[in-house]
Amino acid sequence: METRMTTSSHIAAPAAARSETIRLGPWHQSAVYTATVVLVATGAVWVVLHYFFAVPGEYGPQVHPLEPWMLKVHGAAAMAGLIVYGSLLPLHVRRAWTIRRNIVLGIALIGLLLVLTITGYLLYYAGDEELRPLVSAAHWIPGLVVPILLAWHVISGKAAARVGTVANRRRGGA
């Protein structure tokens, strides 16, 4: 009988550990937050400079001198962001999908990041100057939504984890 209990507790432990590993480690969480903050900040500063602080020039309004620098930092942060966000797929996203936790907000966040990746690619590589303002708006408007959706996703995920922990304790688990 004692052997069965030991075996049973070994079976339950990996399942509990699996659900716990949905939560990001400190460095991973910092990487996600840092990439997001740098991307949103540089993008937002670019939008403000581009639309509100054009510099008068000999031939009309000229690009603010900080705009190109914001784009360079934003582009570098985007490269890092692709790595950081992509690193969430094998563990965080896959395991959350398996146990069906925070799915709707997770899909919305992945979808938004996909839109930003595609529109960012188009801004960088598509040379059509007529479509550029439309693609730009299709990039920066969703970009400003990312921190709100990310915060909602994190808060919702933590709340769901707390509810799951309380329910598990009531059932006699952890």
What are the pLDDT digits (tens) for 72-119? Answer: 999 999 999 999 999 999 999 999 999 999 999 999 999 999 999 999
Contacts of 103 (CB under 8 A, 6+ apart): 96, 97
Residue 11 lies in a domain: no
**What is the domain extent for residue 123?**
24-170
Per-residue confidence band for 152, with pLDDT thresholds at 50, 70 and 90: very high
CATH number of the domain enclosing 51: 1.20.950
Least confident of 14-28, 79-93, 137-151: 14-28
Residue 16 lies in a domain: no
Mark 21-42 as b/e (b = at least 16 C-beta within 10 Å): ebebeeeeeebbeebbebbbeb
Helices (H), the chain: 2-20, 26-52, 67-86, 94-99, 103-125, 132-170
Q: What pTM, to 2 d.p., does this model score? A: 0.81
Residue 45 lies in a domain: yes
Residue 125 lies in a domain: yes
pLDDT higher at 55 or 53: 53
8 A C-beta contact, residue 155 and residue 146:
no
Residue 166 lies in a domain: yes
Distance, in Å, from the CA atom of 136 to the CA atom of 122, rounded to the nearest integer, reads: 9
Residue 51 lies in a domain: yes
Residue 159 lies in a domain: yes
What is the mean pLDDT of the segment spanning 46-70? 92
Residue 6 lies in a domain: no
Share of the chain above pLDDT 90, in %: 66
How many domains are there within the chain?
1
Per-residue confidence band for 129, with pLDDT thresholds at 50, 70 and 90: confident
